[in-house]
Amino acid sequence: MKIKGYLGHIKVDDQWKVVEKVNVEDRLAEILKFNVEKGNQEARELGFKKMNGFAMMGSKRSLAFMKGEAVVVETSKADWQELFVHYVYMKGWLILGVVLLALSIALYYMSFATTYLDYFAPLPRLYLPTILLIISLIMIPSSKTRYTYRL
């Protein structure tokens, strides 16, 4: 994981069985189970359906739990914004950008290596692939712009 101050993490499933663990103790799953059950009980008392996640801060280490995954970080080095928010790819933009890139490359190939586009004048047969290439090269990097909460 690319989180500042990262020390380890543990992933658990719905039955609190450890799915994956890196640099943490096994008993952390038991601690998480107790804290989530207690937190859900308090959330119901306050009128909420359930608790989505929690953070426990210590003097040296801290723990953040969200969506079945607990991350252990050094408290002094942790960036809490980075821990709870991460960037995601908008899959529609990414797929459309890759498709337009492939179409642009195919049209370039057709305009130079085959006789299919010879009925166009020399320059106009390059306009469409160039426009598609520019659009696809804008769409692919911009597909990472949306961020979401890990909770």
Residues 55 and 103 in one domain: no
Tell if the pTM clears 0.85, that is, is over it: no
98 and 76 housed in the same domain = no
Q: What is the pLDDT of residues 79-124, one digit of tens each?
A: 777 777 766 778 888 999 999 999 999 988 888 877 776 666 666 7
Does 41 reside within a domain? yes
pLDDT digits (tens, 9 = 90+) for 48-76: 887 777 778 888 888 888 877 888 888 88
pLDDT, position 119: 63
Strands (E), the chain: 6-12, 18-22, 53-57, 61-66, 69-74, 85-88, 146-149
Give the bridge partners for 146, in sequence order. Answer: 88
Residue 15 shares a structural domain with residue 82: yes
Q: For all residues of the chain together, what is the average pLDDT?
A: 81
